[in-house]
Structure 1
Amino acid sequence: MTFLKTAGVILALILIIPLAVWAGSGSRSHAWFALKQYAVAMGVIVVPVLALVGIVLALEFMS
């Protein structure tokens, strides 16, 4: 149950960006473009952190 709640909250937070752009511009293509740009930006922020966490955990298990 907790997984579904967490997934729902993450989905809602991701959908805020395209829905706001769609409401402001009235264009679904602008909303999709905003979602793609948001996904790229979040990837740039999140992927290096996950890589660092993976390295730290791997070093932790080795010692």
Structure 2
Amino acid sequence: MKLYVDQDLCISCGLCIDTCPAVFSWGDEGKAQAIEGEVPADAENEAREALENCPTEAIKEE
């Protein structure tokens, strides 16, 4: 599973970072970003929860 954050949709709420800090962090523009490459297996459930709960649907699966 690979994820990315659509910077045009992200509102910097931080929900994804709170839900899954192993995958999401703050980027240089003050918006969330996902790690590059595959989501670690032990973080997949939290990453999917972040994707499903994003209020603007900014988190996308590659």
- Same topology, TM > 0.5: no
The structure where helix makes up a greater share of residues is: 1
Please tell me whether Structure 1 or Structure 2 has the larger radius of gyration of its CA atoms.
Answer: 1
User: Which band: TM-score by shorter chain?
Assistant: under 0.3
TM-score (norm 2): 0.27
Higher-RCO chain (CA-CA 8 Å, sequence separation at least 6): 2
